[in-house]
Copies of this chain bind each other. A is one copy, B any other.
Amino acid sequence: MSTPPDPPNPALTDAVAAEVARQLAPFQAAFTKQLDEVRERTVGHQCAIIIFSGDLDKVLAGFVLATGAAAAGLEVSMFFTFWGLSVLKKPGAAGGRKNLKESMFSMMTQSSSLGLGTSQMNFFGIGSAMMRSMMKEKNIASLEELMALAREMGVKMMACTMSMDVMGVAKEELLDGLEYGGVAAYMADASQSRVTLFI
């Protein structure tokens, strides 16, 4: 890449420059095309977590992973569906009018994150109370603290609209600041994510 001595004459210089540009153009186009094809097969620095379960232990694991991913610099989205919807319920929200089946679902699912049981050794809430108490003793963040932390770290929380529909859950029953979407919204995030988990 040495620079030449004085160019011999300006007309020739221009002609050479133009000709080099003309001949480089197809290479540039070919490289760009190949690079685009490879880029198409890459993923972003994103993490997409489905919270399907309503068990306290699993939901906790979900939030530990979500905040851990955010701390690692990933853009995180959590998608709450089926039993996982309970996590997003406002404590004490009355909810809209429900038909009989919706009311039964509502009675049997938890009224907010404060009522979640554990997936094993639940024993009518003893497992859950014990886990909460042990986490407190060990200075590990509670679910509610982890949820607040996740929000601060910019973790996107999306409520599954199909589940809301099936279970008769209205937006007013859910926490503020959520996003809403179906499987298409999840897939848009997941297909650009390097970490995809179903919890």
**Judging by beta carbons under 8 Å apart, are B81 and A61 in contact?**
yes
In the assembled complex, the CB of A125 is this many whole angstroms from the nearest CB of chain B, namely 14
Given A15-B16, A105-B130, are A27 and B25 also a contact pair (CB < 8 Å)?
Answer: no
Name the residue of chain B whose CB is nearest to the CB of A187: B72
A contact set with B: CB distance below 8 Å: 1-5, 7-9, 11-25, 27-28, 31, 34-35, 38-39, 41-45, 47-48, 50, 52-54, 57-58, 61, 64-65, 67-69, 71-72, 74, 81-83, 101-102, 104-105, 108-109, 119-121, 127, 130-131, 133-135, 137-138, 140, 162, 165-168, 182-184, 186-188, 190-199
9 A-B pairs with least C-beta separation:
A68-B183, A41-B42, A4-B18, A72-B187, A197-B198, A1-B21, A8-B15, A16-B19, A8-B11
